[in-house]
Amino acid sequence: MSEPERFERSYWTEHSQYRKFEDYAAALRALRSWYQGFFRLVERDLPAPGRSLDAGCGHGAIVCELAARGFAAHGFDVSRFVVEETRRANPDLAERFVVGALPAVPFAGSFDLVTCLEVLEHLPEPVVALRSLAACLSDGGRLIATTPNLRPRIPWWDARTSDPTHINVHEPEWWQEAFGDAGLEVTRVSTYFAVPLLWRVHSALSRWIPLGPRAGPGTLLVAEAPR
């Protein structure tokens, strides 16, 4: 099975967390609530609204949220299935979602903000992908990425086995060096823990708690392109 084929309908409806939702609308509502914790975590790192790109956009929650915040938001995903669902459900943004696979970026022009959340660990050559994302940033543009931490200090968490499609899971130091190799200036490296369940009660309760440079199960990296 080719890499794109791995992430078609069966991945979303049988293997990923999205299988828990009854339809696309339910998934999008839940994900936008969930990602409020992410936006609280990175509020200080977000640039002023401009042109944005979400690489590996999945159901489009980040694109929809950034559009609501005033960004000219775009997204792409390797899965034709999920992009088609997203475009049907968001007709006002339909032209902003396309099928594409890193390291290629299927949009022309530069972006003031690029997000890449829980994507890098799925890629066979993540550093090559980072170089492509760096190349599409405007001068001083910002890349914000999350990826699992290989060795968190939460003892029951094992990022290596949580998803069989996670083929590149590393410690924060490894990613910091990779971002530098891609020509980016790293401005923030942290780990975090996303508080479960509370976000289902109300989006105001969604919290991603920073846990220093090594402890948490998730790694957050923020970097800028040279000016």
pLDDT tens readout for residues 14-50: 556 666 677 888 889 989 999 999 999 999 999 999 9
Mean pLDDT of 165-174: 94
CATH number of the CATH domain containing 117 = 3.40.50.150
The answer on pLDDT for 173 being more than 60 is yes
Q: How many domains does the chain have?
A: 1
The answer on pLDDT for 175 being more than 70 is yes
- Region label for 5, one of left (φ > 0), alpha (ψ between -120 and 50) or beta (otherwise): alpha
The answer on pLDDT for 7 being more than 90 is no
Name the residue range of residue 65's domain: 4-224
Q: State which amino acid sits at residue 103.
A: P
CB-based contacts of 175: which residues, under 8 Å, 6+ apart? Answer: 120, 145, 147, 189, 219, 221
Mean pLDDT of 76-97: 93
* Global pTM value: 0.91
